[in-house]
Amino acid sequence: MTFIQIIEYQTDQPDAVEALGERMRTDMEAAGDAPRFTRIVRAADRDRPGTYFTIVEFPSYEAAVQNNEDPRTQEFSAEMMRLSKGAPRFYNLEGLQAMEF
């Protein structure tokens, strides 16, 4: 089953966050590196303006750890902290069941 990390954060610069993610994606592609994650979803909280979530799916917990240890991920996280209001909240979830219809 998958490992899922959810990052909840507040920002008044959502376009800069999107650009940061796109830059990381293109840098990985240019280096010929395959991502360790299988899916990323960015979402806005409809009930709390300025609150966002990034949902990252990994094939395993070990892949998530390797991703977190990557210097590019650490650089991305540092930049995210500068774009965020306050510290982000992390949820680390072990996938138990998935249903697709």
What is the domain partition of the chain in residue ranges? 3-49+60-94
Laid out side by side, the sheet with 3-10 consists of 39-44, 51-58, 3-10, 89-94
Helices first, then strands: H and E counts in the chain: 3, 4
25-62: pLDDT as tens digits: 888 888 888 888 999 999 999 999 999 999 999 999 99
pLDDT at 84: 95
* pTM (two decimals): 0.89
Res. 96: pLDDT tops 90: yes
Angle 29-68-73 (CA atoms, 0-180°, nearest 5)?
45
Q: Is the pLDDT of residue 90 over 90?
A: yes
